Amino acid sequence: MFVCMFNELRAARLATFLYFALNGFVLGIWVVHIPLIEQRAGIGHATLGWLLLLLGGGAFAGMQVTGPLTDRYGARRVVPISGLLLSAALILPALATDGWTLGLALLALGLGNGCLDVSMNAHAVQVEAAYGRPVMSAFHAMFSIGGVLASLLATRTLSWGWSPFTTLTAVSVVCLILAVAARPGLLGKPQHPASDAEPAAVKPSWRSTPARIWILAGLALMLMLSEGAAADWSALSMRDVLDANPATAALAYGAFATAMTAGRFLIDRIAARFGPVAVLRWGSVLAAAALTLVVWSPSVPVALAGWTLFGAGLAGTIPQLFSAAGHTDPAAAATNVSRVAGLGYLGMLAGPAVIGALTHVTQLNYAFLLPLVFCVVAAITAPMLRTTRTPRPQPSPSPERTAENSAA
C-alpha cells in the first residue's frame, strides 16, 4: 500500500511538473512571436500595448472563475480542460488579421492561461500537502524552464523560415496531446468532511475571503510588480543610466531570470529546513539589498550583480505565498490561490507601467526605490505565512483506479 501511494504521489508530481512547463512553454512561444504577429495584424506598438491588457484581463477573469470550480470538481477534472483551452487558444493570435481579431485572440489566450495557472497551482498545493514537505518552488521553476525551451525552439523555427501560424499550430497540437496524456497522473479531489457535509452552504465570494488571504494577495501584488519591473526595465536601466551597450544591457534580465529559475530548484530544501517565513523574510531582504545596488550602482558589473541577487531573492517568495494561500483552508484552496494569483498577476502587469510613470518625475534607477520599499514591506510582514500545521491528507484514488479495485 505504501509503495502504491508513493508511486501515485510521484506520478502526480511529474504530471504537475508537465503542466507548469506546458504553461510556460505556450506563453514563451507567444512572446517570441509578438513582433511578427503585430506586423501581420497591421497595428502599432501603442495599439499592441492596449491589446495586451485584454490578455491580462482574460487571465484575471479565468483565475477568478476557475478557483471555485477547482474546489468544487477537483483539479483532476479542471487542470486538463484548462490545459486544452490554453493550448487551443495559442493558434488564435497567428490567425489575427487586424486589431479586433487579435484582441479577441489575446482575450481567449489570457483566459486559458488564467484557468491553467490557478488550477495547476491548486493541484500543486494538494501534492505538497500529500508529500508533507515543501515542493512548490520546483513547480514554478519548471514554468521558467518551459519559457526557456520555447525561446530556443522559436529561435530555431524562425531561422528555418517557419511562419508564426506553422509554429504556433505545431506547438498547439503537441501541447493538446500533452495536456491529455498528463491527466492520469493527477490526484483525485481531496475529501474534506466539513465541506462535504454542507456542500450547498459553501459559496466562495470576495466578501467571504479571509483577511489573511487578502494580505497574502497584497504581498503577491507588490512582489510580482517588482518582478515585472525587472523584466521590462532592467535592460533599459543598464543602457540609459550606466551607458551599457545593447548586448551587455540584455544580460541584466538574463542574469535576473537565470538566478530566479536556479533559485527555485533550491528553495524547497531551504523552506523544509528553515520554514516559509524565513524564505519570504530573507529572500525579500536580499531582494531589497540587491535593488540598493542597482539604484546606486557605480558601474555595469555592480548593476549586473544587483540584478542577479534580485532574481535569487525573489525566487522563493511567490511560491511561498501561493502555498500559504492553498494551505489556509484546504476546502477552498483553489479559490484562495485564485485571489492571491489574481492580484499578483495584476501587479506584474502594472509593474512596467508604474515604473514608466515614475520616470516622468525621477531618473529610472531611482524609480526602483518603489519595488525596494515593497520588498522591505514583504520582509516585515513575512510572519503572516506562519500557520498551525494541519494533518497530512491522503491522496484520493483516481476514478479509474477506484473502478479497477472494485472490479478486482
Q: What is the CATH number of the domain that holds 294?
A: 1.20.1250.20
Residues 157 and 23 in one domain: yes
Which distant-in-sequence residues (6+ apart) come within 8 Å of 146 by Cβ?
20, 21, 22, 23, 24, 25, 26, 27, 28
Are residues 163 and 220 both part of a single domain? no
Nearest to 210 by CA among 388, 333, 64, 115: 333
Residue 407 lies in a domain: no
Question: Is 402 among the domain residues?
Answer: no
**What would the grid cell of residue 303 be?**
548593476
With contact defined as beta carbons under 8 Å apart, do 82 and 120 qualify? Answer: yes
Whether 356 is covered by a domain: the verdict is yes
Q: Residue 2: what pLDDT?
A: 43
pLDDT at residue number 108: 97
Q: Does residue 179 share a domain with residue 84?
A: yes
Question: Looking at residue 399, what is its pLDDT?
Answer: 47
**Per-position pLDDT tens, the chain of length 408:** 544 555 889 999 999 999 999 999 999 899 889 889 998 999 987 788 788 889 889 999 999 999 999 999 999 999 999 999 999 999 999 999 999 999 999 999 999 999 999 999 999 999 999 999 999 999 999 999 998 899 889 888 988 999 999 999 999 999 999 999 999 999 988 765 544 434 434 455 666 788 899 999 999 999 999 988 887 788 888 888 888 887 788 788 888 989 999 999 999 999 999 999 999 999 999 999 999 999 999 899 999 999 999 999 999 999 999 999 999 888 888 999 999 999 998 888 888 788 888 988 988 889 999 999 999 999 999 998 886 443 344 444 444 444 444 444
C-alpha cell at 120: 495547476
Residue 195 lies in a domain: no
Q: Is residue 101 part of a domain?
A: yes
> Quick one: 307 and 233 in the same domain?
yes
Q: Are 217 and 262 within one domain?
A: yes
C-alpha–C-alpha distance, residues 171 and 157, integer Å:
11
Residue 215 placed within a domain: yes
Check residue 6 and give its pLDDT: 59
Judge residue 125's burial from the number of C-beta atoms within 10 Å of its C-beta, 0-12 exposed, 13-18 middle, 19 or more buried. buried
pLDDT of residue 204: 56
Query: Which of 188, 218, 240 lies at the terminal end of a domain, its last residue?
Result: 188
In a domain, 405, yes or no: no
The Cα–Cα gap between 316 and 314 comes to: 6
Q: Which domain holds residue 30?
A: 8-188
Say if residue 181 is in the same domain as residue 240: no
pLDDT at residue 200, rounded to an integer: 39
Q: Are residues 184 and 214 in the same domain?
A: no
| Residue 302 sits in the same domain as residue 385 | yes
End-to-end CA distance of the chain: 15
- Are residues 32 and 116 located together in one domain of the fold? yes
Cell of 72: 468544487
With contact defined as beta carbons under 8 Å apart, do 16 and 124 qualify?
Answer: yes
Residue 159 lies in a domain: yes
Judge if 101 and 226 occupy the same domain: no
Domain co-membership, 333 together with 241: yes
Residue 363's φ and ψ, nearest 5 degrees, are: -65, 155
Total domain count, the chain: 2
Residues 234 and 378 in one domain: yes
Rounded distance, CA 150 to CA 326, Å? 29
Choose one of 122, 153, 188: the last residue of a domain. 188
Q: What share of the chain is helix, strand, coil (3-state, %, to 5)?
A: 85, 0, 15
